[in-house]
Structure 1
């Protein structure tokens, strides 16, 4: 069927890709320019005055004057902004606060400014246009697109609107996509996730769905409801569905399950968005990693993860990073976050251009015994172990068992299987061998009989959904941590009797 929208998308995609190539070809100069503009624009703010921005001439000056901070350490400044004060972290007042789940201080309020907000919108658009340019596939723009996201209903505080990032972004869907976009505004405003999914299923079943987007765990829930209701694979219900857009977690543990639910393979685009900034998107179907966005008002620094908790760890700029090293990513942005620890760890898969994968969270690791196991390692070990098997994994998390009833300590893997599994001992042995192969610390601890090999505890069907519901984090942008260095999640799973 002829589609003017699909026809126009291709030249627009070509234009956007050509424009991006200018900063891709000049990464170091681009970051230097971003850095200088950020410092200049914020020099007269409260933060800029407190940290003598006027005397900052280079990155070395910045490191001396601005220490790495996380949200808790930046909170006194944010509190002043929330109270309505202007020119605190960035010039003027924020347009919005993205309200996210907090750590020790309750809710977090991440500022979004008139300078930063457009970068979120442009990055999401450009990811799709880059895909169109690479593949020549633009037919999907004429179909219906669903974006599983938080409620767009916003609150107001001291003249500034606040809500979830995905809900805020919903207000910026371009006019030319409004007719294609689903679910309806009314359905999107439903707070309860399970009720919302049911409503989305009802709305989308009769439609020509071509693009589906969201965090994999919540899209899986939507797909399962579709399958339950129709008795068909998602790919048979939506015959023109050929593009899945996701972000927030590694897709690989879900890939086999998704292909079973869909009934065929579909193209996918990985995104790396956060309330603090839109950092990267997949620019090539054939390449591993996502293109780091260097011209979006974000200046990046990187600290080798193993040294992060040292006193005064070395802060590297883009020109000094190496492929395959686990870094904590530090950002300074045109929303007023300065030397800010997002909490993510990344690895570079390429430096021409600069592409990254998210390897985990600096707070999500296991080192109860000095093993320094990170998210990327557990995900890769699981993938290696289930290759060429019929195991289907719905979800998993890992915690240390420091005081077992008998024997040596071990890593306890909580896994929810999609299919019926009788004996997991062989799978546990394969995962353990793969993990030893990747992590020399873990290998030494097993061989030195400090740890015994990992053990798998099977979680009941929908057990992780029940866990997330019990802590009030079902749906939206909430994700189950892959790793914990304590047993808070593990103990809650046992307390709720979610073990199979």
Structure 2
């Protein structure tokens, strides 16, 4: 056992014990964060505009600070981006994390000198929790890779700016630097396919023990390795034992990814975003993600059915219930204030507080009043695949098809299979059955002949890759929306599929 693996165990035990304080006293931990960030930001422009000096309780805060998304906070973000100090948080941000927005174009999310530790320590503690629980630490002595965006940073308003994964790359602890792949030079390559070829060249003969990234892009990496060598991943990297991922639901990709490896490997799910590192899986026997309650982020939770109402209920950690879908709202020491990040979560435990990411608040289909959400289509797909065991999936998305003829509208499921169902019609029937069981409104629309049963549209190989490339979003941290309320993505996929 190497030095890193050996020393990680007592350090993991120390961090585990330290974390028990806030895990066992969640409401107190959140109240301390709330008080600290309000006090620190009292004399910022935002703090003065919203009367932070008079805020003592969460009820005061709800009255003073409305829930906003990026577009609503843009006047403040723009001032930060122009280099103005003391706008949302004291001083200037340490970084601006550049991310794609659906309606706002490129978004610039501040990361302060106070909040950077949330991102770095969150990722660190996820690995240490794994070491503490399993006793496995040998992966720390091998090579580790994170398939990420470029670490090259530009300056905007005198502030270093780049993708979150690129910013995080600059904060990899020194004791892990020599284990990290790919090289800095390769990581800076912007074109994903060129970058992937170079990553393979640098890793193919290395002792890879940990691989991390968004599942569809990791699968693309594995596919290229397999084509190049004719071997499974377990034969290329015999000591590969830990897969770390986040950003999308792993279930649709799990079967194919582990078949590519040739065996099951341990995995850790994380919940990172430009706005903060929110949660991580801290047990191999429990898929729930431990919500980080003492890491500079104060959380509010809005029941999803109230999200678009004028005065939605805003709950704190002690008021949430398991099994309910909530829109996640954060205020933080990065200078975010009642900021809706767009994700929905559902608690699976309150002792301790563990959640799963259930979807995106704006990613749904309700063209006919059904309000189908991402969690439901992913669950329907998972359950259908359990019955059609031959099926392997690359990617899928769902969109409405609205017809002017009554009873002729339907949901279209655009699916790229790596192994197709023996009977596509029977598979589509099962998908529809599962979705009807999961969503009563959809079931009523089918029963009432308002909607036809769903239409399954198999797509040719690499259709999603070609579409993402055409949009300049191939690789890195880019994700395919699981569903849409319009036809833009669906029509784009059908168009690239026609082109061959």
Q: TM-score, normalised by structure 2?
A: 0.98
Residue by residue over 1:449-494, the C-alpha shift from the partner in whole angstroms, topping out at 9 and shown as x without a partner, is 2111111101110100001011111011100000101111011112
Contact 2:459 2:497 in 1 (8 A): no
Query: Equivalents in 2 of 1:96, 1:284: separation in Å?
Result: 32
User: Are 2:463 and 1:463 aligned?
Assistant: yes
Give the match for residue 435 of structure 2. 435
Query: Equivalents in 2 of 1:441, 1:296: separation in Å?
Result: 39
Relative to 1, partners in 2 of residues 1:437 and 1:420: Cα closer, same or farther, differing over 3 Å? closer
Query: Equivalents in 2 of 1:420, 1:325: separation in Å?
Result: 34
Question: How many residues are aligned here?
Answer: 499
Query: Equivalents in 2 of 1:69, 1:219: separation in Å?
Result: 34
Query: Aligned-pair distance for 1:393?
Result: 0.6
* Secondary structure of residue in 2 paired with 1:449: coil
Give the match for residue 478 of structure 2. 478
Give the match for residue 62 of structure 2. 63
Query: Equivalents in 2 of 1:358, 1:320: separation in Å?
Result: 18
Query: Equivalents in 2 of 1:486, 1:93: separation in Å?
Result: 39
Query: Equivalents in 2 of 1:199, 1:473: separation in Å?
Result: 19
Relative to 1, partners in 2 of residues 1:102 and 1:420: Cα closer, same or farther, differing over 3 Å? closer
Query: Equivalents in 2 of 1:165, 1:219: separation in Å?
Result: 18
Residue by residue over 1:49-92, the C-alpha shift from the partner in whole angstroms, topping out at 9 and shown as x without a partner, is 00000011100110001000000010100111111110000000
Query: Equivalents in 1 of 2:270, 2:287: separation in Å?
Result: 13
Query: Aligned-pair distance for 1:406?
Result: 8.7
Query: Aligned-pair distance for 1:495?
Result: 2.2
List gaps (5 residues or longer) in structure 2. none
Query: Aligned-pair distance for 1:104?
Result: 2.7
Residue by residue over 1:167-224, the C-alpha shift from the partner in whole angstroms, topping out at 9 and shown as x without a partner, is 0000001110011110011111101000000000011011000000000011011000
Query: Equivalents in 1 of 2:179, 2:20: separation in Å?
Result: 29
Contact 2:143 2:180 in 1 (8 A): yes
Give the match for residue 201 of structure 2. 202
Query: Equivalents in 2 of 1:499, 1:387: separation in Å?
Result: 33
Query: Equivalents in 2 of 1:393, 1:371: separation in Å?
Result: 26
Contact 1:463 1:498 in 2 (8 A): no
Query: Aligned-pair distance for 1:423?
Result: 3.3
Give the match for residue 380 of structure 2. 381
Contact 1:459 1:498 in 2 (8 A): no
Give the match for residue 220 of structure 1. 219
Query: Equivalents in 1 of 2:458, 2:379: separation in Å?
Result: 19
Query: Equivalents in 2 of 1:330, 1:75: separation in Å?
Result: 17
Give the match for residue 179 of structure 1. 178
Query: Aligned-pair distance for 1:404?
Result: 7.4
Contact 2:301 2:314 in 1 (8 A): yes
Query: Equivalents in 2 of 1:122, 1:355: separation in Å?
Result: 18
Query: Equivalents in 2 of 1:457, 1:322: separation in Å?
Result: 38
User: Are 2:31 and 1:32 aligned?
Assistant: yes
Give the match for residue 73 of structure 1. 72
Contact 1:459 1:499 in 2 (8 A): no
Give the match for residue 46 of structure 1. 45
Query: Aligned-pair distance for 1:419?
Result: 1.7
List gaps (5 residues or longer) in structure 1. none
User: Are 2:247 and 1:243 aligned?
Assistant: no
Residue by residue over 1:395-435, the C-alpha shift from the partner in whole angstroms, topping out at 9 and shown as x without a partner, is 00000111278952111000000024563111111111111
Q: TM-score, normalised by structure 1?
A: 0.98
Residue by residue over 1:209-250, the C-alpha shift from the partner in whole angstroms, topping out at 9 and shown as x without a partner, is 000000001101100000000001111110000100000000
Query: Equivalents in 2 of 1:12, 1:412: separation in Å?
Result: 50
Query: Aligned-pair distance for 1:102?
Result: 2.3
